[in-house]
Chain A
Amino acid sequence: MISLINPTNFNKLSEKIIQFIGLFSLALFIVGIYWGLVIAPIDYQQGEMVKIMYIHVPSAWMALLIYSFITLMSIITIIFRNPITVIAAKSAAPIGLIFTLSVLLTGAIWGRPMWGVWWVWDARLTSVMFLFFIYIGYILLLRSQNTSMKSEKIAAIYAIIGFINIPIIKFSVDWWNTLHQPASILKIDGPSIHSSMLYPLIIMFFAFSILFLYLLLLSMRIELIKNKIRAINQRRINDINN
Chain B
Amino acid sequence: MGTYLAIIKRDLVISYKDGDHIAMGFGFFLVIISLLPIGIGSDIDILPKVGPVLLWIAFLLTTLFTISRLFKDDHVDGTMDFMIMDSAIFEIIIICKVFAYWISITLPLIIVIPIMSILLNISMDLILPITFIIFISSPAFVFIAAVGSALTLGMERSGILITILILPLYIPLIIVGISATNINVIGINSYSVSVMLISGFSMLSIALAPFLISLILRTNSY
Contacts and interface: CB of A to CB of B under 8 A. Distances in A.
Interface of A: 121-123, 126-127, 130-131, 133-134, 136-137, 140-141, 144-145, 150, 153-154, 157-158, 161-162, 164-165, 168, 176-178
Nearest to A126: B171
Given A126-B171, A176-B186, A157 B165 contact: no
8 contacts: A133-B167, A133-B168, A137-B161, A153-B219, A154-B151, A168-B172, A176-B186, A176-B187
Given A140-B161, A154-B151, A161-B147, 16 more contacts: A127-B171, A130-B171, A133-B168, A136-B164, A137-B161, A137-B164, A137-B165, A141-B151, A144-B155, A144-B161, A145-B154, A150-B220, A150-B222, A157-B215, A161-B212, A162-B169
A154 B187 CA distance: 33
Contacts of A123: 186
B58 interface: no
A77 B220 CA distance: 15
B171 A154 contact: no
A123 B152 CA distance: 29
B216 interface: yes
B220 A158 contact: no
A11 to B, nearest CB: 28
Contacts of A164: 169
A228 B220 CA distance: 25
Tier of interface size on chain B: 20 to 34
Contacts of B187: 176
A213 B169 CA distance: 29
A130 B155 contact: no
Contacts of A176: 186-187
A158 B219 contact: no
Interface of B: 147, 151-152, 154-155, 161, 164-165, 167-169, 171-172, 186-187, 212, 215-216, 219-220, 222
Q: Which 5 A-B pairs have CB atoms at the shortest separation, nearest pair first?
A: A130-B168, A137-B165, A133-B168, A137-B164, A153-B219
Contacts of A136: 164
A154 B167 contact: no
A168 B168 CA distance: 12
B186 A122 contact: yes
Contacts of A121: 186
Given A122-B186, A141-B151, A150-B219, A158 B165 contact: yes
A144 B161 CA distance: 9
Contacts of B216: 154, 157
Most buried by A among B169, B187, B215: B169
Contacts of A126: 171
A154 B221 CA distance: 12
Contacts of B219: 150, 153-154, 157
Contacts of B168: 130-131, 133-134, 137, 162, 165
Contacts of B215: 157
B220 A145 contact: no
A150 B220 CA distance: 6
B49 to A, nearest CB: 16
Contacts of B167: 133
Contacts of A137: 161, 164-165, 168
B164 A140 contact: yes
Contacts of B220: 150, 154
A178 B186 CA distance: 9
B65 to A, nearest CB: 16
A164 B152 CA distance: 20
Nearest to A177: B186
A133 B161 contact: no
Nearest to A129: B168
B220 to A, nearest CB: 6
B169 A161 contact: yes
Contact of B151 (A122, A127, A158, A177): A158
A145 B220 CA distance: 12
A136 B212 CA distance: 21
A126 B154 CA distance: 31
B147 to A, nearest CB: 7
Nearest to A144: B155
A168 B175 CA distance: 13
B171 A141 contact: no
